[in-house]
Amino acid sequence: MRLAVAAAMVALLAAPIAPASVAAAATYRVDDHATLPIESTALLRWRQAAPSLAQDDTLEGATAVAVRLNLAAWVGQEASLYLVFPEQGSAALRASWTTQGRLLPGEVSPGKRVLVYRGRITSPAIEETLTLRIEADGNRLSGMQHLQFHFEIDTD
Amino acid sequence: MGAIDITCRGLAGVALTSLLWAVPSDTRAFTVNIAAANPRVIYLQVGVGSFNGTYNSGGSPANNATVNVVSVTVPAAQVGNGAAQAMTTNSTASRSYYDNYVFCNAPAQLYVGGFFRSTSNSGSATLTTSSPANLVNASGQQIPFSQISWTSSGNGDSGAQPFPAGSFNGATQVIGTIRRNQWAESCHTFRYANSSVVAPGTYSGRVTYTLSTP
């Protein structure tokens, strides 16, 4: 019984993640297991050393992320690629990034996704380095927080 | 930390959905860890201080090692007569680094102010003073530090001061607090109680002001 349940679960998981072929328009999670931040922790500093009259209590910092996306399932297709920043359930956050040109720069807040590539998928992998800048509300950031990001692809 | 020297001179002085995503998360998501690099910052100014710009324009504090003096010379004929003697300071700090407003009236008043920065909602910063039991002259004669008191105000201010009126107790005492991510300031006007006859001489003692974060 336990094995049957486990097998069903695996089938459910695998279907939307690693399609052998994709024909209809749909959204899939992209295999980005090889994507890694360069630093273990991005240290955020006060944007303003003193708490100004405007009450700017923003902490900010940046870190580089080495992105490697497995797009083999979609080679030859027209698609849109998104960076997704799910709700974090923590301090007010905002993330922005610059790129080296293979992906689009942009910014995103929790619960949203932003287009980073639109066009034909021409190679089985994309490699890019994002310089990711994080802003957080200093009144609500205590200790270390783990921000989860992932990529999604929409096929036409 | 700041300090002032006080002298009295003269004759006295987180279900299923999550499970579905939990499995692929190891291979299909990346995590950026963030932490505050410098979660607490404090700035204290007693008398003169240094600040690059002003607080409300995004300035940043700087160091200033000056120790100001608050003093009074009691006329011979008034020594120990109980008539409180107004003290003055050699501080020239009248403008607040909050907004460059002329908040204090130097030399009659001593500026006391600062701010407390923290990412943790764990309380306020506390300003304490540490004073010796007595002011002492060259001959070892003494005047209790409790003879020195102060009133608190600020130009254009109304309501309670963050560092209210009080008197030194010859030990460590709380002068006031600064709430998280706030600037607080007061102007102190010192006086010597002059309640006892003391031997002639210059009586001095140092008060150390310390701002502590929780």
pLDDT tens digits for range A60-116: 999 999 999 999 999 999 999 999 999 987 668 999 999 999 999 999 999 999 999
Residue ranges in chain B modelled with pLDDT below 50 = 8-27
Chains A, B: CB pairs < 8 Å: 136
- Output DSSP code: residue A12: H
- Convert the pLDDT of each residue in A33-52 to its tens digit: 999 999 989 999 888 777 66
**B183 vs A52: CA distance, rounded Å:** 8
What is the residue-wise DSSP string for A26-50?
-EEE-B-TT-EESSSEEEEEESSSS
Higher pLDDT, B183 or A132: A132
Residue B178 pairs in a beta bridge with B125
- A41 vs B26, B33, B183: nearest CB: B33
* φ and ψ at residue A17, rounded to 5 degrees: -100, -45
- Chain B partners of A13 at a C-beta cutoff of 8 Å? 20, 23-24
Identify which has the larger pLDDT, B145 or A24. Answer: B145
Cβ of B35 and A139 within 8 Å?
no
Q: What are phi and psi of A147, to 5 degrees?
A: -90, 125
**Number of domains within chain B:** 1
Instruction: State ipTM.
Output: 0.81
B178 contacts in chain A (CB < 8 Å): none
In chain B, how many H helices and how many E strands? 1, 17
For the stretch B32-66, pLDDT in tens is 999 988 678 899 999 999 999 888 777 888 999 99
Mutation site, A82, A96, A145, A151, interface B, largest B CB count within 10 A: A145
Alpha-carbon Rg for chain B in angstroms? 23
- Residue-range domains of chain A with CATH: 2-155 (2.60.40)
Name the residue range of residue B50's domain. Answer: 2-13+15-212
Contacts of B195 (CB under 8 A, 6+ apart): B80, B82, B147
pTM: 0.67
> Residues 66 to 125 of A: which have CB under 8 A from any B CB?
none
Q: Is B138 on the interface with A (CB under 8 A)?
A: no
List of chain A residues whose C-beta atoms are within 8 Å of the C-beta of residue B180: 139
Instruction: Name residue A23's beta-bridge partners.
Output: none
The answer, for B41 touching chain A at a CB cutoff of 8 Å, is yes
Q: Which of A32, A138, A139 sits opposite B30 (nearest CB)?
A: A32
* Cα(A60)–Cα(A42) distance, integer angstroms: 9
pLDDT for residue B12: 32
